[in-house]
Amino acid sequence: MVERKFLPFMPDSTIIFVYIYAFITVFIFLLGIKRNVTRYDITIREFVKNICQNLKINKKGISDFISYIILQKKTQEQSFGKIGHSTIYFGCLILLIGTTIVAIDEDILSKISDLKILRGNFYILFEFVLDTAGIFVFFGAIYAIYRRFIVKPKYLYTDINDYIIPILLIIIISTGFVLEAYRLHLDNNPVAKYSYVGNFISSKLFLIDESLSGINNYRLLWYFHFIMALLLICLIPFSKLKHIFLIPLNFIVSPPKKRHRNAKLDVPFNILEIDENDEECEALENIGVGSIAQIRWNDRLQISSCINCGRCEEVCPANSSGRLLSPRNVIQKIARKIENAENKIELFEHIIKTEEIWGCTNCYACIEVCPAFIRHVDKFLDFRRFIVNTNFEDEAKINIFGNIDRNGNPYGLASYQRTEWLSDHEVSTIDEEDEFDYLYFIGCSSSYDQRCQEITKSVINILNHANINFVILGEHEICCGEPAKRMGEEGLFQMTAIQNIEKFEEYGVKNIIVHCPHCYNMLKHEYPEFNGNYNVIYHADMIDNLLKSQSIKLKTNIQKTSLTYHDPCNIGRLNGIFNSPREVINRVGQLREMDRNKESSFCCGGGGGNAFFKIPEKRRISQIRIQEALNTGASSIVAACPFCMIMLEDAKGNIENSRSITNVYDIAELVSMHLN
Amino acid sequence: MNITVLLKHVVDSTEVRFDKNTGELRLRGLPEKISDYDKHAIEEAIRLKSKFGGTVTAISFGKKDALKSLKEAVAMGADNGILINHPQVDQIYDPYYIATVLGKVIEKNDNCDLVLCGVMSEDITNKIVGPMIAASINFNYIPNVSKMSIEDNSKFKALCEIDEYEIEVEASFPIVISVSRKINEPRLATKIQIMKVQGKKISTISLEDIGMTESVEAGSACHFESFTPITKERKHVIFEGDATSAVKELINKLEQEKVL
Amino acid sequence: MKTIIISSDENNLKKIYKYAEQIESIEHCDFIVFNTNDGFIKNLKNSLVNEIDIANVDLFLLSDSDKDQEIASVLTALTNGSCSTNCSKVYTENNKLCVEREVFGGIAYLKLAMVKMPAIISLSSGLLNDQAIHEFNVQFKRIDTKIDCDEIKILSKNKIKKSVDITSAKKIVSVGRGIGQKERIEIIEKLAQKLDAEVGCSRPISEDYRWLPIERQVGLTGETVKPTLYVAVGISGQVQHIVGMRDSKVVVAINNNKSAPIFEYCDYGIVGDLFEIVPILENTI
């Protein structure tokens, strides 16, 4: 029976050489790991403890780990990931398993028994599979080089890592194959044909020059191959390859949020829990992140996982519009400082401009595509918190905070004008009704912006048609606090939220209808932090249900025009509500999807406070989006967010050939106009 | 260098309106803030302090709610605050009375080198309290300062605008200065920074403490009579049809309004 | 009432006199041009004490200029009278001298009674600008301030040049994207020139097309303006724009879309093609 030979044609002393070298490699490798971990400002002991704890807590995460990390689900979503990265990854993974089996055979089994795994048919299969894996890695590496140096997509930055690693892979694999060819040639192996690559090379190589086949050449090449392979292992902690460990570790330490919790932001302190007499409350000392030293270890780990692939930059609306921000650049700049242990660096004095951070529209497209599971937007929020809390002198943004604080809306318009315009409509305020089932929380933009007031009127019309017993807050309504939260004025947000919650509690509110996704996220995800637990319903969901239950009926003779739907980031990507608006649209028209839709939808430019201040840019984000809508050939755009409405309406008028798109409608308007 | 900065706690004018039912001007229960003009004075005081050292004391003559504004000033960077508390301060419309009160506190708070205030109050648009303080405590006064640098402990240079002239001056302390809004962009004190301000940094005194024993009614020389609305409802007169006649009608109207 | 009209500026003095003629209770009037000689408050005080007999005066009337504020301060301190500034109306009612002044950003007039004599009243620049300069033959007294203390030295003095600052403009013609092409902005500029107004614009003009510099943008992300006349041409009137111009005294809108929100915020509006209307408007004024 055939079986795998261990170190054939090598002198007996080789094994000593192997062990010495392996030990050196392991030593360097461990040194590298220690170096990395200390950069994260945590001891190895604590680090390991934390990881074990996370593994224990998050047992359900194991299936995610398998699909995202082992099976590379995220990486597969992109074309290079599918071809280049997967071939290398799966190839190397199989080679690693193969090597492990050899190690088990030679270092364990052979020492204690006569058993051997690699013999007979299994060995034949092993040879076949490993040759195939080698081919995978070989061509994967060739493809990587082709992409880096010939295709050169503009989002790729190439440095020395990107030369060394694929070349090293090619060298290791090709020398491996040549060694196999030698072995087959010298050995006259009866099952040589299953080691098909080696067999092929052997049949060609030694035809050229038989003198090459000397055993000394084989030995030299073997040492070379072995040293190169160990060199690659040594390089892992010191090069880009460290992502092999960092990304899975980051995945364990900070597991990606589930879609329906994607919008949830962190709460650095909670005003309800602060004792005002406690003069040295720690939570209040350092608000936000302004220096490398202030970045927590888990965030350092996350930032260091960045592999500079540029996907976030490619999908980033701020970057696409020519703003200074590239999420990748921000993360990379910090990652480099962490790598160099420059802990004292003040981020906003030396390496990041505040303009970059304010340019983010909080659309989460970067988070969506990141194969390293980095949450850029969360980091930016920490930066904004720091900026706002540190001698912040930006008058325009300070005014927004002041407006929310005093007038209850970011525009600085008088609070008493909020619902004055609604007085002629069939709607009761909360003071007028003793009992009600739903509170309709209108939101600032739809109270003050004339265009968005139409959305409000439509929602009211629909609710009245369905005979729903609802009220509005009227003059009691104030901003939900979203701009303050997303712009980093956490204290103001919390005070605003608490004020709203007190009002809700006073009137016994249980169910809240909103049509603004920004309000939705605050009420649904953030208010529970301050004991505000309500059933928050998005208007598209509500309308969809009302249609399904036939509580409202549409006209029967609707002329179905073609419509395209713009997913609001705050409702789609951040909450996973993709279907209900589409189902509603399909009842009144024909849906034509834009190229970028659902989870890969493109922002309107209005999120993260960007509707209220200006950032230098070459082209408005909304114009890019409206062009995509035009490309569908649809006659109208359907939006489902007042901010998107304002942005798209604005852009509509600014595009030369916009005549083919006549209207931007909110989903509520679309239904309201077709009600029977 | 001892810097005193004066701030007025005002209602937010955007929220002020006449009640539709009663016809009365609603001033109670409205959001309040530091007068925008005074914020520039606070900012300048903090900047001068960080460059040239010294202490910054913020003073406000107000009702109890003004504590909030003093806290904000401290959160911005002032060292301490003094509230001259009087519950009916909203009804004092005599600028000289207010100047006298503030002047007495400044004199009491001895060794004051520099008094900074905003160029006017946001609510009443009085531009005179600054010079009145100067007149009452015999300091000099420079209005509308848009740039300022301290030379040494007794001298400074300032750029100011006085009635269509831009004037550069060199002057000595002590002095009262009103700052123009061009001088700086005031920093934000976040809610949490304001919350963190320790109560002990702000002291509250009464009019009796500074020897003003007569009643406000008797001391004040201007008595409140009434508020009447300035109608600012837009007229919504829309002309349609023939352009030439529409323009003529428009110009007629504008001439009546005396805006041409 | 024995009255002294006093100002550091002769033209202002004449305007105050023009208004004072309407105040019935004034019986005797003296006129003083108080040349401040670039002196500051201490100098003014010394000169006033020496040069003016403040006894038995019932009313001092001044302008709202910076120097007059200082004079008013000194007079109040010297006489312990009642002072009110920025007044837009002065009259006697039931034997009480009353003033009215705008407060709370132009929402209300505040009426005050001056209870201690003398009253020191400065008149608002808006009121004085409405007064034609009154040529009068009455003799007026001139006082020169003596500079007898050198606490403040003047290093330089320059007349302020008018710069592009739409925030302080009295009249503004603003253009929106209804204008369509950069070249056509010319007609707006001509109209503005005729009106002696500054040119403003809405966000698309300065941010998207960059046809006008960003300093001219009116709105939430631009400047907040308070002119007496605001002409919005081809501006639809989104809330973002409205918050920047809502404090204008008179708003005129020209737009071809009758349902444009700007008409909700205007006093006078013309519905029609701006390319037709603007030239006619320019020629008719």
Q: What's the pLDDT score for residue A610?
A: 93
Residue A535: CB atoms within 10 Å: 12
Predicted confidence (pLDDT) at residue C150 exceeds the cutoff of 60: yes
Is residue A282 very low, low, confident or very high in pLDDT (cuts 50, 70, 90)?
Answer: low
Paired tokens of C220:
């939430």
Report the candidate in C54, C51, C92 with the shortest Cα–Cα distance to residue C76. C54
Q: Do the Cβ atoms of B131 and C280 come within 8 Å?
A: no
Total residue count of chain C as it appears in this document: 285
d(CA C20, CA C39): 27
Is residue C107 very low, low, confident or very high in pLDDT (cuts 50, 70, 90)?
Answer: confident
Cα distances (angstroms) measured from residue A552 to each of A425, A579, B11, B145: 19, 19, 47, 65
Where is A639: in which H helix or E strand? Answer: strand A636-639
d(CA A40, CA A249): 13
d(CA B128, CA C86): 10
As a whole number, mean pLDDT of residues C91-103 equals: 93
Neighbours of chain B (3+ CB pairs under 8 A): A, C
Pairing of strands B25-26, A438-441: unpaired
For residue C118, is the peptide bond before it cis, meaning its omega torsion is within 30 degrees of 0?
A: yes
- Residues C205 and C177 sit within 8 Å (Cβ to Cβ): yes
Q: What's the pLDDT score for residue A276?
A: 66
Is residue B232 very low, low, confident or very high in pLDDT (cuts 50, 70, 90)?
Answer: low
Calculate how close chain C gets to B48, using CA atoms only, in Å: 20
**C234-251 per-position pLDDT tens digit:** 998 888 788 889 888 899
As a whole number, mean pLDDT of residues B65-75 equals: 97
Residues of chain A in contact with residue C243, where contact means CB-CB under 8 angstroms, are 411-413
Residues of chain C in contact with residue B135, where contact means CB-CB under 8 angstroms, are 41, 45, 70, 73-74, 76-77
d(CA B155, CA B140): 13
Q: Is B195 on the interface with A (CB under 8 A)?
A: yes
Pairing of strands A589-591, C59-62: unpaired
Q: Is A413 on the interface with C (CB under 8 A)?
A: yes
Q: Is C167 on the interface with A (CB under 8 A)?
A: no
Q: Using CB atoms within 10 A of its CB, is residue A1 exposed (0-12), middle (13-18) or buried (19+)? A: exposed
As a whole number, mean pLDDT of residues C141-163 equals: 84
For chain A, the straight-line distance linking the first and the last C-alpha, in angstroms and rounded, comes to: 82
For chain C, the straight-line distance linking the first and the last C-alpha, in angstroms and rounded, comes to: 44
Cα distances (angstroms) measured from residue A264 to each of A113, A261, C60: 57, 6, 65
**B163-220 per-position pLDDT tens digit:** 889 999 999 999 999 999 889 999 999 999 999 898 899 999 999 999 988 888 888 9
- Residues A613 and A641 sit within 8 Å (Cβ to Cβ): no
Q: Do the Cβ atoms of B195 and A389 come within 8 Å?
A: no
**A241-270 per-position pLDDT tens digit:** 999 999 999 999 999 999 999 999 999 999
Q: Which of C74, C108, C122 sits opposite B228 (nearest CB)?
A: C108
Is residue B241 very low, low, confident or very high in pLDDT (cuts 50, 70, 90)?
Answer: confident
- Complex-level ipTM: 0.90
Paired tokens of B217:
């009614």
**A570-595 per-position pLDDT tens digit:** 999 999 999 999 999 999 999 999 99
Q: Which residues contact B236 (CB under 8 A, 6 or more apart)?
A: C263, C264, C266, C267, C269
Q: Is A411 on the interface with C (CB under 8 A)?
A: yes
Q: Using CB atoms within 10 A of its CB, is residue A576 exposed (0-12), middle (13-18) or buried (19+)? A: middle
- Residues A323 and A616 sit within 8 Å (Cβ to Cβ): yes
d(CA A340, CA C261): 57
Cα distances (angstroms) measured from residue A359 to each of A378, A430, B14, B232: 14, 38, 30, 38
For residue C227, is the peptide bond before it cis, meaning its omega torsion is within 30 degrees of 0?
A: no
Paired tokens of C60:
């001092």
Calculate how close chain B gets to C179, using CA atoms only, in Å: 17
Q: Which of B141, B221, B250 sits opposite C268 (nearest CB)?
A: B250
Crossing angle of the two packed helices A196-208 and A160-187, in degrees rounded to 10: 80
- Give pTM, 2 decimals: 0.90
Q: What's the pLDDT score for residue C135?
A: 72
Q: Which of C104, C151, C171 sits opposite B16 (nearest CB)?
A: C104
Where is C209: in which H helix or E strand? Answer: none
Report the candidate in A526, A542, A519, A550 with the shortest Cα–Cα distance to residue A438. A542
Q: Do the Cβ atoms of C107 and B16 come within 8 Å?
A: yes
From chain A residues 588-617, the ones with a CB under 8 A of any chain C CB are 612-614
Q: Position of tokens 């308070």? A: C226
